[in-house]
Amino acid sequence: MSSNRSSMSPEFYTMNGGDGPYSYSNNSHAQRILIEVAKPIIDEAIAHELDLRNFSLSSNPFSIVDLGCSTGPNTFIAVKNILDCIKQKHQSLGLTSQISEFLIYFNDHTSNDFNTLFASLPPDRQYFAAAAPGSFHGRLFPESSVHFFHSSNAIHWLSKAPEELVDRKSLAWNKGRVHYTNAAEEVCDAYAAQFRKDMENFLDARGKEIVVGGLMVLTVSAIPNGMCLSHQNPIGLMYDLLGASLMDLVKKGVINEEQVESFNIPIYVVNPENLREAVERNGSFRMVKMEMIESILKINYGDEITNVNWWTRKLRSGNEDIITKHFGSGIMDQLCQQFTVNALETSNDFNALFASLPPNRQYFAAAAPGSFRRRLFPESSVHFFHSSNAIHWLSKQVYDAYAAQFGKDMKNFLEARAKEIVVGGMMVLIMNGIPFGMSHSQNPAGLMYDLQGKTLQLPIV
């Protein structure tokens, strides 16, 4: 056995097992769509790049590995697609009589729910199945033993969160956040550096394990070159809301601030340029093609991705393990409730908004979802703020201290805008108001809500 193993001690986090309402198997349809959309790209790679003629007739069985398989059923769909294409290539090359037996290794962390995975193996499968537990950031197989590696939506998970994020003396201290979404440049750089280290280890290991002429296909979460992870990206928005929700639980006394400051999500969404650089720098593989698959969620889900409960289930099915290992198992219900409340504040019908954009507009348009009582943009990035008839809305119902609540909300609003606006910028606010000395009962809005309250108190006949 090779002694060249990774010396890292990865943090083992897995998706929710079983088949319950918050299980990964019941909340991973988006990942399934990604596998289906990527199928033609994988088929093309197998047809043009997998060197079946070079494999010895004694290379039996033909080994395929799915890295980061979780609990199914998506891994079975990916494996079937790969097998069908390999068999088709055998036939096209006239090698039907030489088709090997297939051995599929399903890889994930040792704490993965392999029981659920194997209980749902397709009964009509045409391959042998085995588990390969362990972190894909280190060695998993003997040298030159694997013919095909596949991974879909997995390698964005880092082996660990960068250590600088919890160092109060570091410029990368990630105070008040749990991810690098809209964070300081030093935080983003720390994540990028950790991804480079992990990718180097990943490629080193796969380079030793794959046979000559073999193929590796990776489908990864990514953002376009030159774009920062922000609220405009679903992953960025989800983890920013998670951080805000945890801080809300701090204010409620459920957890303490030190717990939040020592917690960071070990996920990095790479861009194509950085991924290509990582592969070229390592030298174990030759990259033959890279293709961006854009707007998968929007194209295939439509309005469902604006459903707050859908995102809450996504958060829980994929992150409950890492959250409860840090904060304890009793936090999840309260956290999900708070996450739902905060997510509702960000929900808006952006579909209708963008559908009505003026066709002759002379500007670029982008969505910035989130509560305006919190940070929405990087520091010194906005030249002009405008708000009309909006900031009179409070962040929550307050029955005996509306003025005090408005004062708190206005303080948060102004502090956020002050950080985001450039020197010499301007902000114009148009808001509901009443003259000095006028009571709210004399105001049309006050009269409307007074009448609404009386109407709700009328008896039902």
In terms of residue numbers, what domain contains 92? 29-228+267-301
Q: Do both 70 and 173 map to the same domain?
A: yes
Count of positions (residues) in the chain: 461
Can you give the pLDDT at residue 439? 55
Region for residue 273 given its phi and psi (left: phi exceeds 0; alpha: psi -120 to 50; beta: otherwise): alpha
Share above pLDDT 90 across residues of the chain, in percent, rounded to a whole number: 53
For the entire predicted model, the pTM comes to 0.75
**Whole-number Å distance between alpha carbons of 83 and 400:** 66
Q: Do both 224 and 357 map to the same domain?
A: no
Residue 215 has pLDDT above 80, yes or no: yes
Q: Do both 93 and 177 map to the same domain?
A: yes
Q: What's the token pair of residue 233?
A: 């990206």
Q: Do both 294 and 368 map to the same domain?
A: no
Q: Do both 216 and 354 map to the same domain?
A: no
The answer to whether residue 7 sits within a structural domain is: no
Q: What is the DSSP string of 20-38?
A: STT-STTS-HHHHHHHHHH
Q: Do both 154 and 219 map to the same domain?
A: yes
Q: What is the pLDDT of residues 353-391, one digit of tens each?
A: 666 678 778 887 777 767 777 777 877 889 998 887 777
Contact yes or no for 162/193 (Cβ under 8 A): yes
The answer to whether residue 255 sits within a structural domain is: no
CATH of the domain at 108: 3.40.50.150
**Whole-number Å distance between alpha carbons of 416 and 410:** 10
Q: Do both 275 and 354 map to the same domain?
A: no
> Domain count of the chain?
2
The answer to whether residue 224 sits within a structural domain is: yes
Q: What is the pLDDT of residues 303-362, one digit of tens each?
A: 455 578 888 998 999 999 999 999 998 999 999 999 998 888 776 656 556 666 787 788
The answer to whether residue 174 sits within a structural domain is: yes
**Whole-number Å distance between alpha carbons of 169 and 340:** 34
Can you give the pLDDT at residue 92? 87
Residue 281 has pLDDT above 80, yes or no: yes
Q: Do both 276 and 385 map to the same domain?
A: no
Radius of gyration (Cα) for the chain, nearest Å?
A: 26
Residue 3 has pLDDT above 60, yes or no: no
The answer to whether residue 254 sits within a structural domain is: no
The answer to whether residue 245 sits within a structural domain is: no
State the pairing for strand pair 102-108/128-133.
parallel
**Whole-number Å distance between alpha carbons of 271 and 221:** 9
Q: Do both 398 and 279 map to the same domain?
A: no
The answer to whether residue 332 sits within a structural domain is: no
Contact yes or no for 180/186 (Cβ under 8 A): no
The answer to whether residue 261 sits within a structural domain is: no
Alpha-carbon distance values, 21 to 74, 211, 259, 307, 336 (Å): 17, 41, 28, 16, 14
Q: Do both 279 and 206 map to the same domain?
A: yes
Q: Do both 282 and 390 map to the same domain?
A: no
